[in-house]
Amino acid sequence: MFEQWSSVAADGVHELSFSTDSASMKLLCGLSEFLLYPLSFVDDSRLSAGNYSADQMLLISKNRFFSRPVEKMIIGELNLDKLVISQSFIESLVSSHLARISVIVVILPVIYLTRLALELTGAVLSRRLLKLLLKKDKELLINALGVEAFSVATREVPVLHKDIGKLGVLHKDVPLDELIGTTQQALLYGYQILDGFLAYQEDALVELFRMRVPLLKDRWDEGGLLGVEQTRLAIARFIRRRCIAWDAFTG
């Protein structure tokens, strides 16, 4: 589960094999909760196991006597018990904001994850959104992104997060109404950015993230822009500012 994360003491109790802090421990606990109790994180569509459909598994899990056995079935079905998170990544949680934010993205409650995805979509495409002239075009994008995400993209991003707009050049030839004309398209766009962001941090986090987001199938071609650390740091700063869970995990 966690590669070389701990060593076994004489009394059989696991001890951390590296120096950590309270923020890192909160994040590690969040990851552990995902791995041990996936029903609280994984998208419903991924919950089928054996001969049971996802709906059947959810129904059975509502019985308190069967909830834990169902969790164990899901763990086995998704190979969560075999997932390896490297020691180097875990140790980086002590000092790396990129690493910490990556974990927060993976374990965010779904209501905040969807909001973050929409706001990130708006942020990346902010330069194009600012150029919209027709009222009907603005209304279409406001409906797709939501009022809050559109407002962040057109008011906050140009002042505080200019570097994020560089990612918007990737699809400059695709009309916005085709790219993010619906909420589902806007969500997918944001999820793809987060997926690419995580890919440069730790492969295991990508696996966990994709269990939460069924819309993601193929790796998004971001033209190598996310391979530039400065771009990832810009995204990280945006997430840190917009994510209300940041203080809960790192405060």
Model pLDDT, residue 2: 44
Structure tokens at 220: 């998004």
pLDDT of 100-123, one tens digit each? 999 999 999 999 999 999 999 999
**CA 131 to CA 125: how far, in whole Å?**
10
Model pLDDT, residue 216: 76
Model pLDDT, residue 219: 67
Model pLDDT, residue 218: 67
Largest interatomic CA distance in the chain: 71
- Overall residue count recorded for the chain in this entry: 251
Burial, 39: exposed, middle or buried (Cβ in 10 Å; 0-12, 13-18, 19+)?
middle
Model pLDDT, residue 225: 81
Model pLDDT, residue 20: 57
- Helix (H, G, I), strand (E, B), or coil: what is residue 99? helix
Tens digit of pLDDT at every position of the chain (251 positions): 444 333 333 333 333 344 457 788 889 999 999 999 999 999 988 888 888 898 999 899 899 899 999 999 999 999 999 999 999 999 898 888 899 999 999 999 999 999 999 999 999 999 999 999 899 999 999 999 999 999 999 999 999 998 888 788 888 889 999 999 999 999 999 999 999 999 999 999 999 999 999 777 666 666 678 888 888 999 999 998 887 655 555 55
**Signed CA dihedral, 141, 145, 151, 153: sign only:** negative
Contact 145, 151 (CB under 8 A): no
Global confidence as pTM? 0.86
